[in-house]
Chains A and B, each alone.
Chain A
Amino acid sequence: MKYEVTQTNTYQYDLPVRQSINQFRLKPLHDQQQILHDYNVLIKPASQTYGHTDYWGNYVETFYLWGEHQDLSIETVSTVETKPFEIDLSLPLTDEQRKELHSEAFKQAHTEFMIETDYTSMSDGVMEAETEGLWKDARDELEFAVKLNEHIYNTMEYVSGATNVETTAEKILTHRTGVCQDYTHLMLALCRYRGIPARYVSGYIYIGENSAYRGDAATHAWLEVKVPGLPWIGLDPTNNAIAAEQHIRIAVGRDYRDISPLKGVYIGGAHTLNVSVGVKNLEERVS
């Protein structure tokens, strides 16, 4: 599928601010799963951006606004083509795959995505209890992950405003409410607990006519798990879905902290931020 995504981020400051330095990760990834055809940024007040690729492979842009301003907007327009999902998840892992999954070499290679972070922090007892049944019944790690995706979808309630960007996995599970970011942190914690490398993904979801898809129409979050012999597989617990053509990836990391879409430091008072996203399917026929 080919999409044109427009994201507009508007900051309004109560009073004029100055010496503002901002950093954002909004450029979609360009890799084997999706092609980035075009990407443009428009910043008002006009400002030059300086880009670099971070340790996780995400593109980061930094810009400076020295003088006084009371409004700031960052608009990105991306043309992205996603590829269909062609892996048969009903196939069991082979003996070789399982052997490699449990090998020291595999664990070492993906060690960053197997640790507990501040966001995914949870006590072992809670994680054990939450996954015990699923783990026992699962044929292998991959099936466990798919079932866990469904389990989280079924046992969580999607409520915006109940959590914030600093909510940890343990908290989420006590309330069983949250938004896509919370669903994702929870599932990351549980996958890692069972020895499956898992990473956070930020991006967009194309809802289109399929109104069954929940989510923030704005930006979305899900996760990817890794098993030997297969590429990273995207799982979206907020929608009990396998991330495929409707999922557009921007950044990956250990948790939200690594993919933080927008941040800044400035001299001045409070602000409000509005984010709006439009995803246009370029292949859809106009009726």
Chain B
Amino acid sequence: MFHSYKLEGYFDEMLEKGQQPRGHCKPFHEKLTDISPEELQTRYELAQSDFLRQGITFTVYSDNEGTERTMPFDFVPKIIPPDEWQELERGLIQRFDALNAFLDDVYHEQNILKDGVIPRDLIVNCQHFFEQVAGIDLPRRQHIFMAGIDLIRDDQGEYRVLEDNLRNPSGLSYVFQNRYVMRKVYPEFFNEYSVQSLEQQFSYLHSAMASLAPSQNPTIVLLTPGVHNSAYYDHSFIAQRTGIELVEGKDLVVRERQVFMKTARGLKKVDVIYRRIDDEFLDPLEFREDSLLGVPGLIDVYRAGNVSILNGIGNGVADDKAIYHFVPDMIRYYLNEEPLVKNVDTYLLRYQDQLDYVLDHISELVVKHTSESGGYNMLIGPHASKEEIEAYKKQILKNPSEYIAQPTIKLSRLPAFKDDRFAACHVDLRVFIFGGEKTHVFPGGLTRVALKEGSLVVNSSQGGGAKDTWVLEENPLEV
């Protein structure tokens, strides 16, 4: 099965030089080689049909039709040993706390801008900066309820942050489903391992939401744009498992600075809204007038402190691709600490010297538009043709400040099952972090894998798949 498997100078998370499994992967690797290829294929099909049966799909917007697909699942998990996880956890909590302090600062005193740590125009002219919410004091000063931080490992195996998603990170439901299917279809893989369980996480999620409420014993709802949204499955799953009501904008109404949910027995006051609607659609009175998804007057209620909106409004100003460059500075500024998890080096094309460098070295770099996500509108230099590069250069020069560039990282790899063999495919990891009484890192995450061999794009919308992520309580016994 591993006969054609090659490491090719990449960091392989399962196999070391000489194709020997790393210590914490040994028991798994042994099981894997014990099972016949036919058996693996049968189970693989079983797993895929399980996802389809449960209706776990996402919508691909780039297709004209908006087709629904299931995310392909690969059964080789990402296994994280306890010491590695603890270190990562500390780094992610640090990053989360600094980002949150930054958001509270830019919507209040703007000290970090006054002190010149970050250029002011980058923040206040950012399309995600909503001056309508400046000056609003949030419960526990917590702007981030859920962050989805995307991590990669470089060719040395060092973790680096690729993106901070602080608006509406999706994918939490997949984490649970991946584990569920894994336990069901491949139960014996877990035998030698004590993997941190995900079961308590729902009650944790609920108490985190409640801890950010303006009052005791809050009524909490999840506000979704509706069934046509690409992440609707995520919305309904979270609402159901945390025991909160799933509502749409038309189910809510604002009256005299309070939000109410329409129920069969009349209006019921709502205290916390975990919304999965983008900022600009939340309230036609103060944001986009043409929005039919939101609730008129909602921002005034938020301003009055009568409802908590999770994640906070205007968080996009902290996870913008250009502002990412400054997160290490935020950690130093607010926490007086050195960043524990590094960024990927980022060039800001708004600066002439960095623009010059990038144009000279474009074939070695990845260039991204600051307001696009999901792997759209980016140039992967080493894989691009001459024509593509020239066209992209032209696009950059129209407005350089809208672009950033990063070196191509040799993303780490893990084996993925391909019919009759294993192939080394690139992976990344989205970790979910929750704010509330105490910042909490969800033990595990969504490991995304670029199933197209050689591809670096792990986004589900572009042919990526998912893997289960195991955070170990303790290292497995050496067998």
Q: List residues of chain A with CB under 8 Å of any chain B CB.
A: 19, 21, 23, 48, 50, 52-56, 62, 64, 66, 107-109, 111-112, 115, 263-265
A107, closest chain B residue (CB): B121
B342 on interface, CB distance cutoff 8 Å: no
- Interface segment, one of B58-66, B159-167, B214-222, B296-304: B296-304
Known: A21-B285, A21-B297, A111-B125. A64 touches B131 (CB 8 A): no
Q: How far is the CB of B203 from chain A (nearest CB, A)?
A: 36
CB-based contact A111/B121 at 8 Å: yes
CB-based contact A265/B134 at 8 Å: no
The CA-CA distance from A19 to B256 in the complex, in Å, is: 10
Q: Interface 1/0s, chain B 99-140, versus A by CB < 8 A?
A: 000000000000000000001110011000001101100000
Known: A55-B134, A66-B256, A264-B285. A115 touches B297 (CB 8 A): no
Partner among A19, A52, A265 whose Cβ is within 8 Å of the Cβ of B303 = A52
Known: A21-B300, A108-B119. A64 touches B284 (CB 8 A): no
CB-based contact B120/A54 at 8 Å: no
Known: A21-B296, A54-B132, A55-B134. A64 touches B255 (CB 8 A): yes
Q: Which residues of A contact B253 (CB under 8 A)?
A: 19
Q: How far is the CB of A17 from chain B (nearest CB, A)?
A: 13
Q: How far is the CB of B14 from chain A (nearest CB, A)?
A: 49
Partner among A52, A66, A112 whose Cβ is within 8 Å of the Cβ of B124 = A112
CB-based contact A64/B257 at 8 Å: yes
B286 on interface, CB distance cutoff 8 Å: yes
Q: Which residues of A contact B285 (CB under 8 A)?
A: 21, 23, 263-265
Query: Known pairs A21-B285, A108-B121, A265-B297. 17 more at Cβ < 8 A?
Result: A19-B253, A21-B254, A21-B300, A23-B285, A23-B286, A52-B135, A54-B131, A54-B132, A55-B134, A55-B135, A56-B131, A64-B254, A64-B297, A66-B255, A107-B121, A111-B125, A264-B285
A-B contact pairs, 27 of them (CB 8 A): A19-B253, A19-B255, A21-B297, A21-B300, A23-B285, A23-B300, A50-B304, A52-B135, A53-B135, A54-B132, A54-B134, A55-B134, A62-B297, A64-B255, A64-B256, A66-B255, A66-B256, A108-B119, A108-B120, A111-B120, A112-B124, A112-B125, A115-B121, A263-B285, A264-B285, A265-B284, A265-B296
The CA-CA distance from A55 to B286 in the complex, in Å, is: 13
Give residues of chain B (230-273) contacting chain A, Cβ–Cβ below 8 Å.
253-257
Partner among A53, A62, A109, A115 whose Cβ is within 8 Å of the Cβ of B300 = A62
The CA-CA distance from A62 to B283 in the complex, in Å, is: 14
Q: List residues of chain B with CB under 8 Å of any chain A CB.
A: 119-121, 124-125, 131-132, 134-135, 253-257, 284-286, 296-297, 300, 303-304
Q: Which residues of B contact A23 (CB under 8 A)?
A: 285-286, 300
CB-based contact B135/A50 at 8 Å: no
A23, closest chain B residue (CB): B285
The CA-CA distance from A19 to B253 in the complex, in Å, is: 9
A52, closest chain B residue (CB): B303
Can you list the 3 inter-chain pairs with the closest CB atoms, starting with the nearest? A55-B131, A111-B121, A265-B296
Q: Which residues of A contact B121 (CB under 8 A)?
A: 107-108, 111, 115
A22, closest chain B residue (CB): B285
B254, closest chain A residue (CB): A21
Among A66, A108, A263, chain B packs the most CB atoms within 10 A around the CB of A108
CB-based contact A55/B132 at 8 Å: yes
Q: How far is the CB of A113 from chain B (nearest CB, A)?
A: 10
The CA-CA distance from A109 to B120 in the complex, in Å, is: 7
The CA-CA distance from A263 to B296 in the complex, in Å, is: 12
Q: How far is the CB of A35 from chain B (nearest CB, A)?
A: 24
Q: How far is the CB of A108 from chain B (nearest CB, A)?
A: 4
Q: Which residues of B contact A108 (CB under 8 A)?
A: 119-121
A111, closest chain B residue (CB): B121
The CA-CA distance from A175 to B135 in the complex, in Å, is: 41
Q: Which residues of A contact B255 (CB under 8 A)?
A: 19, 64, 66
Q: Which residues of A contact B135 (CB under 8 A)?
A: 52-53, 55
A104, closest chain B residue (CB): B119
The CA-CA distance from A48 to B255 in the complex, in Å, is: 12
B286, closest chain A residue (CB): A23
The CA-CA distance from A207 to B133 in the complex, in Å, is: 37
Q: How far is the CB of A189 from chain B (nearest CB, A)?
A: 16
Q: How far is the CB of B136 from chain A (nearest CB, A)?
A: 9
Q: Which residues of B contact A52 (CB under 8 A)?
A: 135, 303
Q: Which residues of B contact A21 (CB under 8 A)?
A: 254, 285, 296-297, 300
Among A50, A52, A55, chain B packs the most CB atoms within 10 A around the CB of A55
The CA-CA distance from A55 to B135 in the complex, in Å, is: 8
Q: Which residues of B contact A263 (CB under 8 A)?
A: 285
B298, closest chain A residue (CB): A21
Partner among B125, B257, B284 whose Cβ is within 8 Å of the Cβ of A50 = B257
Q: Which residues of B contact A48 (CB under 8 A)?
A: 256
Q: How far is the CB of B237 from chain A (nearest CB, A)?
A: 32
Q: Which residues of B contact A111 (CB under 8 A)?
A: 120-121, 124-125
The CA-CA distance from A262 to B281 in the complex, in Å, is: 20
Q: How far is the CB of A128 from chain B (nearest CB, A)?
A: 17
A116, closest chain B residue (CB): B125
A48, closest chain B residue (CB): B256
The CA-CA distance from A50 to B302 in the complex, in Å, is: 13
Q: How far is the CB of B297 from chain A (nearest CB, A)?
A: 4
A56, closest chain B residue (CB): B131
Q: How far is the CB of B377 from chain A (nearest CB, A)?
A: 21
The CA-CA distance from A66 to B253 in the complex, in Å, is: 11
The CA-CA distance from A64 to B254 in the complex, in Å, is: 9
The CA-CA distance from A147 to B240 in the complex, in Å, is: 65
Q: Which residues of A contact B286 (CB under 8 A)?
A: 23
Q: How far is the CB of B306 from chain A (nearest CB, A)?
A: 11
Q: Which residues of B contact A66 (CB under 8 A)?
A: 255-256
Among A56, A64, A109, A263, chain B packs the most CB atoms within 10 A around the CB of A64
The CA-CA distance from A66 to B254 in the complex, in Å, is: 9
CB-based contact B300/A50 at 8 Å: yes
Q: How far is the CB of A73 from chain B (nearest CB, A)?
A: 20
The CA-CA distance from A56 to B285 in the complex, in Å, is: 18
The CA-CA distance from A107 to B350 in the complex, in Å, is: 15
